[in-house]
Structure formats: C-alpha cells, structure tokens
Amino acid sequence: MEEKDVVVIGGGPAGYVAAIRVMQLGGKAALIEEESLGGTCIKRGCIPTSVLVRGTEFLEMPGKARDYGITLKVEEVNLARMMARKDTVVKTVTGGLDLLVKGNGVEVLKGRGRLLSAREVELRQEGGACTKISARQVIIATGSRIRKPLFTGAEESITTDQALDLKEIPRSVLIVGDGTVAFTFAAIFNRLGTQVTVITGSSRILPGVDQEIVTLFLREMKKSKVIVHPRSSIQSVVGNREGQKAVTAVIDGKETTLTCHYVLMAEEREANVDGLGLDAAGVKEGASGIAVNSRMETSVPGVFAAGDATGGRLAHVAFAEGKVAAENALGKDVRMDYAAIPKCLNTIPEIASVGLTEEEAVGQGHSLQIGRFPFAANGMATILGERSGLVKIIADSRYGQTLGVHMIGPQASNLIPESVLAMKVEATPQEIGSAIHIHPSLSEALMEAAMAVTHESIHSLPSG
C-alpha cells in the first residue's frame, strides 16, 4: 500500500474532521474505523439523546396549546416509535458522514488500527487479516468508552448505551452520575412518567457550571419531582425475580436501601486507548488520556491526538482539535485555543455557558460586575410559554473584560454562540449591549444582561 501523508485512527468527530482537513490541504489521508463513522456523539451520545429530548417536548404541548385556545391530546407514548425515530436520525447523520468523507477523497479503511511505530500503523480487519500502512504522520482519535462500575452487583445496572435501546418506559430508575449525561436522562425519563432518583458522589451537581445556574436548575428538578442525592454512593445492587433492583446506598453518610426497576450508570467516560500500541511508538499518556501540547502533538514528533482520546468530552471541541492536528500534521503551526469553549447541557431546561464561572473569576482575583436578565421579562420567552431561567454575564470591573456568560432557559445552546464570538474578539458587555437585537427574540435577554452589567438594562426594574 502506498505511503499516506496522514493516517487517522478513529472516525468520530475529531477523526473525520482531521481526515477531511488533510485532504483540503492537499494531503492524502486514510481513515481507520472499526464501526460506522460518527463516534460516541452521533451514535450513542448527544445526537440520539437530543432526539429523545425532542420527543418528550411534545408531551408538554397540550398544556401550552390550551393557553392559545387550541385543544390537543396525547393519545399514547409509543416508546418503540420514539426509539425508531432516534435510530432513523442516527442513520441519516452517519450516512451523511459517509458521503461527506468519501466525497472529500478520504480513503476509509474498515478495521482496527494499532501503532507499530511512530511511522507505521497496523490495520486489523474483521476475520483477523492484518495490513501494514506507512504514514508520514499519524493522528489518534479513538474517542472514549464507558467506565465500568466497581460496586457489587454492577452487572445488574445498565449503561447509557443500553438505555438508548430500552423497549419499555421504566416505572422507576436510579441514575448514578453528576454531569450532563445523568441529568439529560433524568429529564427524558421524568417527562415519560418515570420516577427518577439521581445519586451523585460530589457535593454539588454539574461540575464546572456556575453555582447560581445550578441552584436554579435544582429548583426546576424539584418542581419536576426528580429526587437528587448529593454526596452519596452505591454499595451494591441485587436483582429479584420481579425485575426490581434492591440498591444499597450511602446517602448523606447513612446506609439505606432503595428499590427501583433500573439502575443507570451515567458516570464519566475514559479515554479509549487500550491496544493502540502507544508504548511501541513511545507515546506518553497523561492523567485522563494521551498527553498532547497545544499543537495536539504527542510526546512523539509526527504523532498527534485529538478528541476524547486526550481526555476531552465535548464533540465541538473534538472538531476543533481534529482540525488543529491535521493542519500541524501538514506542516502548519497552529495552536488550540481553549479560552472561549462553549458548553451546552442538553438538560431540561437547557444550560449553556462560555468562559469563567463566578466562583472561578473570584478565585482568579477578578473584581466583578455581574449583569442578569430573567427570561420572565423577555417577550419571546413569554410568547413561547418558557419564562423560567436567566442570562448572566460576568465582567471584570477594572478592565471591562467579559469573563463569562451563563444561561439557563429556552434554546440556551442556540443563544450561546454570540457570546462565544464576543469573548473570542474580546467584546465588552457594553459592546454586546449596544448591538441591536431583533425584537421579539430570546437574544434580547443577552443584550439586556449585558446592559445590566453597568445598570443600564431598559427592561428590568432598577436594583436596590
């Protein structure tokens, strides 16, 4: 086989973007993938869970429609059809990726990749046949995998992959985890009528999210009757003949027994790097994955890594890292910038943010000015009947720098990109607030929060 400029191992967000970028720059790329293209996000993560979240949104429409004089009725919840819709969306997106990658001239090789050295990759195909591929540069983008639980009876629990293929709506589910995955599934099952309990090991949920936003989110969880137990852990799970699970847990320091129909493990994932031949190539690992520098280059020159294999957990960050890795593999000198990385939690309600939380900003010694604007005072949120939540902007009072933007409420993930761009170009809250926003629109909440930083918000009452 001819020598490739770049061999990419892994066809998820980081991998397929890297392969396409190599071709755009005039190189020859081979992409090794054992399964279909798309990785965790598209096949088992944010895409399928978003489909289910969208499906459950329709359950709230009859109540909202009634306010408009329209009578709607939910005849039934057909979980099989909901899951079929999820599968159709995943198949459509992955099919589109196949066309995209092949249309850019990338050679897709079916099988499992392993480094034999820094310049040679072994392709092991189904059936055991092996082929050696010579590569000038290598990009590792093998993603992440579910971390196995360690408690007694862990085999009685289900993974998030299995939860995406359930054949019945659970009567009750105990979810273990403190991040967006746990609370996305909590929201889905809660809307479907499942009794939901969430157990988290940390003292607070949603690590990395501004505490004020977390407080508002917990208030919404309480309204929805989702039970959340922080500082808790599972000791063991035992199943019985009736299909129920007896869960021994430590909650607030006390051992107790809970009963549920499913135990769903939604803990963090770990880098999928076993069997990659990292030692053979001399590639070093860090605490959470393959160690890389800002160029996405590993400890071995010419070997790059991107995405979840390096410890990241966001698909849109993997896109950017894959692009940076490909450009450097083709001789450019590009650095990955993590200063303005947006986060979106596909929970209900949605949470989105960029930049520092209030706690982080104080910890770094900033003197703060904070602007807030509630969606309850926004015209479009009122039109939509989704008035809960707010937009919060954190700025440095000395220099006027925008340090962070945090949102909880309707369509937060679609509202946050303006803030990402603002922070990227170092726009101040005053500049954000002076930009004319469409009326009525949810984006006005961002504008008003920006003006509130200097107490100039028009559509909120004066504070104090």
Task: Tell me which residues are annotated as active site.
Answer: 439
Cβ atoms 138, 290 nearer than 8 A: no
The partner residues of 250 in beta bridges, in order of sequence, read 233, 255
Q: Which helix (H) or strand (E) holds 422?
A: helix 412-424
Question: 247 by DSSP, 3-state: which?
Answer: strand
Say how far apart CA 140 and CA 262 lie, in whole Å.
36
Q: Which helix (H) or strand (E) holds 239?
A: strand 232-239
In this structure, what token pair is assigned to residue 276? 């990659």
If you write DSSP's letter for every residue of 241-291 in order, what string do you get? Answer: TTS-EEEEEEETTEEEEEEESEEEE---EEE--TTS-HHHHTPPB-SSSB-
The partner residues of 120 in beta bridges, in order of sequence, read 117, 134
Q: Which helix (H) or strand (E) holds 47?
A: helix 46-57
Q: How far is CA 299 from CA 22, 97, 240, in A?
A: 21, 31, 50
Cβ atoms 300, 120 nearer than 8 A: no
Say how far apart CA 31 and CA 19 lie, in whole Å.
7
